[in-house]
Amino acid sequence: MTQITLQNTQTRQKEVLEPIKSGEVSMYVCGPTVYDRAHLGNARPVIIFDTLFRLLRHVYGEDKVTYVRNFTDVDDKINARAAQTGQSIREITDGTIGLYLDDMDAVGAMHPTHMPRATEYIQPMVDMSADLIEKGFAYEAKGHVLFAVESYADYGKFSGRSIDDMIAGSRVEVAPYKRNPMDFVLWKPSDADTPGWDSPWGKGRPGWHIECSAMAHELLGESFDIHGGGNDLMFPHHENEIAQSKCVGHEFANIWIHNEMLQVEGKKMSKSLGNFFTVRDLLDQGVPGEVIRFVMLSTHYRKPMDWTETKRAEAERTLRGWHAKIEGVTAADAPNADVIEALADDLNTHKAIQALHDIARNGDPAVLKRSAQLLGLLSDEMDDWVAPSFGGGLDHEKIMDVESWLRSARNAAKLSGDFSEVDRLRSDARDAGLEVQMGKDTVELKPTSAFDADRLHSIKRGEA
């Protein structure tokens, strides 16, 4: 069996994945708070953990991997959106979940095994909070239940901070009912305008962190193999998940994986810089989901990912070339070994894509197709964009004509030493948005995103 190594944030070491339950893998990834469309940065962890999910399924078997990704559907941002728009909370959360799944489907992300909604797991959150009070790690104050960070000696260890650093470096909510400003909310009271559930502490709602601890426990048990998320969640969210779960006596996650953040053209994506866009914005501009996925995977998950127009154009060209190569080809039974090896080495998607380039150049198209599918690329569901985006103007016959004219012009030029006709045809083809690849005995023209059907049709064979 392929050995998978992963960089464990908790131990700061690359570790061999050794599943708790032999032959089966369990993974939890923090999901979105559902009040708005996913921005491009939100798609990065989804694509990364989807690729890990695919690798795990390949290595352990499709029915041996349990992947949980939650929806946070109780949150003050959702309440604010409801008040602002006049929609009900349920309309907002149901609607946003639908849009989110549409967008993630478009970038080729498989649905996780379980997608629990926080509001369906309120009782386990109440139970866990009560258990923490009983064990002396939490306390009730003015209708709130707070986790007492000083009761857990390892608090801060995961993210590598001391309590003093955390107080100094973060905007903690100072409230008179907190014993320590770092104490965080497990439960808080709700008024008539905010959603609430009955609890031993009155009508209220859970804090954010307790959701993941409770849902991971319900769906994966007291311990599981992998916990993932963006590195912006390390503190306080993951630090708090660990504190809660460990203090009720759960082992919780063995390996923690964090992805780096996304930038746009070298800058942090933000509304104030005007470079903020959603996945849907890109799709609406005609950027195929497969291209978004390719660009995301071309950078290793532990490096900052820079979304650039240049990368988008290159990815589109590459994928068009690959799709042309695999047209009508049935995928091979097994992916290429170099691709598997790269992915098994801390999910090195950058290296895996380099291996795919090698196969595309020199290898079997059937193996290219099967290997790319391990990264969620070149799937039969994702190839729709390749032809239609040429607006129906992609004339394969004419492209083949121009290829053959170029071949014979070159043969003639080899004898005469006059390459002007070769140069003219090549330049006309480029003007029509075709990439010209001339091998020793071959000529290949590939449509790029700049393809222009009118210009293609105006190309004429010169006088021989």
Edge-first strand order for the sheet with 184-189 is 138-141, 144-147, 184-189, 204-206
Which of helix, strand or coil describes residue 61? coil
How many Cβ atoms sit within 10 Å of the Cβ of residue 381?
9
Q: Among the residues of 249-308, which ranges form H helices? A: 279-284, 289-297
Least distance in angstroms from the C-beta of 241 to Zn ion: 6
Contact 306, 265 (CB under 8 A): yes
Contact 165, 175 (CB under 8 A): no
Q: Which H helix or E strand runs over 13?
A: strand 13-16
Tell me, what amino acid is at 72?
T
212 in contact with Zn ion (CB under 5 A): yes
Least distance in angstroms from the C-beta of 39 to Zn ion: 18
Site string for Zn ion, 4-33 (x = CB under 5 A): --------------------------x---
Residue 241 counted as an annotated binding residue: yes
- 112 secondary structure, DSSP code: P
CA dist 284 and 295 (Å) reads: 17
Q: Which two tokens stand for residue 368?
A: 């290219």
Cβ closer to Zn ion: 31 or 321?
31
Least distance in angstroms from the C-beta of 130 to Zn ion: 21
Least distance in angstroms from the C-beta of 251 to Zn ion: 17
Cβ closer to Zn ion: 185 or 456?
185
Residue 247 counted as an annotated binding residue: no
Cβ closer to Zn ion: 30 or 47?
30
Q: Give the binding-site size for Zn ion (rule: CB under 5 A).
A: 2
Beta bridge partners of 120: none
Site string for Zn ion, 109-148 (x = CB under 5 A): ----------------------------------------
Site string for Zn ion, 330-369 (x = CB under 5 A): ----------------------------------------
Residue 237 counted as an annotated binding residue: yes
Cβ closer to Zn ion: 212 or 343?
212
Residue 158: name the closest of 213, 231, 88, 81 by CA: 231
Site string for Zn ion, 78-97 (x = CB under 5 A): --------------------
Which of helix, strand or coil describes residue 2? coil
Buried b (16+ CB within 10 A) or exposed e, 318-354: bbbbbbebbeeeebbeebbebbbebbbebbbbebbbe
Cβ closer to Zn ion: 256 or 294?
256
CA dist 81 and 61 (Å) reads: 42
Least distance in angstroms from the C-beta of 223 to Zn ion: 16
CA dist 360 and 300 (Å) reads: 21
Buried b (16+ CB within 10 A) or exposed e, 402-420: bbebbbebbeeeeeeeeee
Q: Angle 396-416/420-431 helices, nearest 10 degrees?
A: 160
Cβ closer to Zn ion: 212 or 360?
212
Length of the chain: 464
- In the region spanning residues 29 to 48, those forming contacts with Zn ion, defined by CB under 5 A, are 30
Cβ closer to Zn ion: 216 or 360?
216
Cβ closer to Zn ion: 55 or 253?
253
243 in contact with Zn ion (CB under 5 A): no
377 in contact with Zn ion (CB under 5 A): no
- 20 secondary structure, DSSP code: S
Least distance in angstroms from the C-beta of 30 to Zn ion: 3
Q: Which two tokens stand for residue 366?
A: 């059937």
Least distance in angstroms from the C-beta of 72 to Zn ion: 8
Residue 246 counted as an annotated binding residue: no
Cβ closer to Zn ion: 50 or 241?
241
Least distance in angstroms from the C-beta of 133 to Zn ion: 21
Residue 30 counted as an annotated binding residue: yes
285: buried, middle or exposed (CB in 10 Å: 19+, 13-18, 0-12)?
exposed
Least distance in angstroms from the C-beta of 118 to Zn ion: 10
Residue 366: name the closest of 315, 322, 396 by CA: 322
Cβ closer to Zn ion: 30 or 382?
30
Least distance in angstroms from the C-beta of 125 to Zn ion: 13
Q: Which H helix or E strand runs over 224?
A: strand 223-230
Which residue bears the tokens 């030029």? 413
* Chain-centre distance for alpha carbon 130: 35
Q: Which stretch binds Zn ion (CB under 5 A): 89-97, 113-121, 204-212, 441-449?
A: 204-212
Q: Output the known binding site for ATP.
A: 271
Q: Output the known binding site.
A: 30, 212, 237, 241, 271
Q: Which residues bind Zn ion (CB under 5 A)?
A: 30, 212
Q: Output the known binding site for Zn(2+).
A: 30, 212, 237, 241
